Amino acid sequence: MSRRLDKMVVKSALYMSGDIDPSVPRPPPSKAESAGRHYLMAEDPRLKPMPKAPTLIDFFRYRFGPAAHLLQSARLALKNGLDEKVVLACLLHDIAVFGLIRADHGYWGAQLIEPYVDEEVSWAVRAHQALRFYPDASVGYEYPEAYLRMFGSDYAPDPYIDAEYQRARDHRWYMTARLVTLNDLYAFEPGVVVDIEDFTDIIGRNFKQPKEGLGMDNTSASHMWRTIIAPTKFL
Ligand SMILES: [Fe+2]
Ligand SMILES: [Fe+2]
């Protein structure tokens, strides 16, 4: 099972907190384990290599997978005749869950895409984090039944989520984020196969792909894309 790698791979505290107690010192690798080996300072050899100048579609192929939930949500938005900005927001709304960090995923996802999309798109991705917990009868959005199963009937959002909801409700782009929650499929639809290539044109028109590749382009989010490329890099 534990194939011995050339390099030593150490997971970030973030991936392990809970399984381990980060307040307790971790023992360094044993002499036998570290003899003649260095720490990994590159992409993890267990992952598929990414192209030198990766595109958003490459991330879907090699790091965000399988992202059927995102593809199906975007497909539904397209089928519902929604604006391309909404389709893109649906396609990207949970990329943090699929490729980076689950907790506060709307915020992480918005930050990842901020330099590359219209402000309205990243705003909607951020706001869906809160809006999905609150019904809106005017558009037929109910509290997702799946959440009752997933979080229990006594779950209530944290106060910061409630405050975010209150702010979003009065925002001029409220409906964009609301449409993300409306097209967010809470159930996996078996048999509906959607390919990321189906969205090539919409991505091309609405996502400013840097020619150097995501992660190599010196924006405020480049380091986050690089971490997705090489999540076990030692430093
Ligand atoms: Fe989400
Ligand atoms: Fe979602």
Residues 71-121 pLDDT 10s: 999 999 999 999 999 999 999 999 999 999 999 999 999 999 999 999 999
At residue 28, the pLDDT reads 85
CA distance 26 to 111: 31
Q: Residue 107: phi, psi to the nearest 5?
A: -70, -45
CA of 147 to the centre of ligand 2 (A): 12
CA distance 193 to 60: 15
Residue 196 has pLDDT above 90, yes or no: yes
At residue 146, the pLDDT reads 92
Closest CA to 199 of 47, 99, 67, 51: 67
Taking a C-beta distance cutoff of 8 angstroms, is the pair 231, 71 a contact?
no
Q: What is the pLDDT of residues 4-59, one digit of tens each?
A: 678 999 999 999 999 999 999 888 888 988 998 999 999 999 999 999 999 999 99
CA of 30 to the centre of ligand 2 (A): 42
CA distance 162 to 139: 20
CA of 121 to the centre of ligand 2 (A): 15
At residue 27, the pLDDT reads 85
Model-level pTM greater than 0.85? Answer: yes
At residue 1, the pLDDT reads 39
Residue written as token pair 């506060």:
104
At residue 217, the pLDDT reads 98
At residue 2, the pLDDT reads 46
CA of 128 to the centre of ligand 2 (A): 9
CA of 143 to the centre of ligand 1 (A): 13
**What's the mean pLDDT when you consider all of the chain?**
94
CA distance 113 to 119: 9
| β-bridge partners, 39 | 8
Mean pLDDT in residue range 143-151: 95
CA of 4 to the centre of ligand 1 (A): 36
CA of 206 to the centre of ligand 1 (A): 20
What's the burial of 81, exposed, middle or buried (CB within 10 Å: 0-12/13-18/19+)?
A: exposed
Pseudo-torsion of CA 181, 182, 186, 187, nearest 10°?
A: -150
Mean pLDDT in residue range 158-175: 98
List the domains of the chain with CATH numbers.
56-229 (1.10.3210.10)
CA of 93 to the centre of ligand 2 (A): 6
191: confidence class by pLDDT, cuts 50, 70, 90: confident
CA torsion through residues 12, 14, 18, 24, sign: positive
- For the chain, how many residues are written? 235
